[in-house]
Amino acid sequence: MASHRRPKQPSRARVTVLTTAAAAAVALSSQAANAAPSEKPSKDEVKAKVDKLYEDAEQATEKYNGAKEKQEKLQKEISTIQDNVARGQDELNAMRDSIGLAAAAQYRTGTIDSSVQLFLSSNPDDYLDKASTMDQLSAQQVEALKKIQEKQRELAQERSEASAKLKDLASTRTELGKKKKEVQGKLAEAQKLLNTLTAKEKAALAAEQERSSRASERDVLGSSTAASGRAGAAYAWAQSQLGKPYVYGATGLSSYDCSGLTSRAYAAAGVQIPRTSEAQAQIGTRIYSESQLQVGDLVFFFNDLHHVGLYAGNGQIIHAPRTGTVVRYESMSTIGGPFMFGVRV
């Protein structure tokens, strides 16, 4: 006989779960249908991002250069102090030996005086205080012992100074490593972006740079401003480096970073200037008006002064721009950061 039992209805909780799941599925499918497919960044977008990464890398490079320069300076200072300590210790040993020889001679004759006995005691620092009241102490012995004590204090101070500088050196090396890692990270990120471009897009970017450089060169050659003196000599030397690649931390002769080029150019002109752009900005006479710049003046860009070049006349500079480029002429208007001031060395 057929069953007349009614079919079992789903529970209210199960209905709710099914309804929620169905709604979620509909929402997801709707979003997927409406979402635009991800687009590959354009050549200009990639260039903008790469330029910013290169700017950040150059900023870190100048910090790296500063830490490297400090490290080299500390190493020289520590070496000098250590040499001084070694010589001082030899002098101290000779002084002590002379007192010892005097004591030995007196011992052989059986006439060791109380002054020498005190010096050879376990607490020689207390010697002069006690010996000063003794009639047996000769003026020559007093002078010798004073020199020994003075040399001991001098050596202790130099050892303390060397210890402090060694700690500073360790800290500087750590900072140097961090900045180097930061620079390399920015450059790797930039290269990764560049690798997304097609060969045709890369060629187009290179052509744009070449056209810009040629235009700047024409403007320089068309300038009537002549270079003279040591600024002229520095500028002429920088011109001889045109076409050499930018490499962070480099000072030539095969490659340069921005401040490496300017410091080397002035060194070739017989003028020693600091290594980093920030330090170079603190020398000479500042020129705030672009119209007052002369060929060979140092020119600084960006608020933190992390980029420097040499003024080439007619609104152009010669500089080492960034990774992937070479020493070249460029318009001040296309550097990517504001002109801050010039410096006449």
For 38, 222, 281, 305, the CA distances from 235, given in Å and listed in that order, are: 49, 16, 17, 20
> Which residues neighbour 261 within 8 Å (Cβ) at sequence distance 6 or greater?
238, 241, 251, 252, 309, 310, 319, 320, 327
CB 310 within 8 A of CB 342: no
CA distance 87 to 72: 23
* DSSP annotation of 309: E
> Which residues neighbour 54 within 8 Å (Cβ) at sequence distance 6 or greater?
186, 187, 190, 322, 323, 324
Task: Say whether 306 is catalytic.
Answer: no
Please tell me which residue in 180, 319, 322, 328 is annotated as part of the active site.
319
CA distance 97 to 297: 61
For 20, 249, 259, 279, 280, the CA distances from 276, given in Å and listed in that order, are: 64, 10, 6, 5, 6
Q: Of the candidates 71, 22, 266, which has an alpha carbon nearest to the alpha carbon of residue 173?
A: 71
CA distance 294 to 344: 8
CB 89 within 8 A of CB 156: no
CA distance 169 to 69: 11
Please tell me which residue in 258, 293, 298, 335 is annotated as part of the active site.
258
Task: Say whether 307 is catalytic.
Answer: yes
Please tell me which residue in 68, 70, 275, 307 is annotated as part of the active site.
307
Determine the 3-state secondary structure of 301 from DSSP: strand
Q: Which residues are part of the catalytic machinery?
A: 258, 307, 319
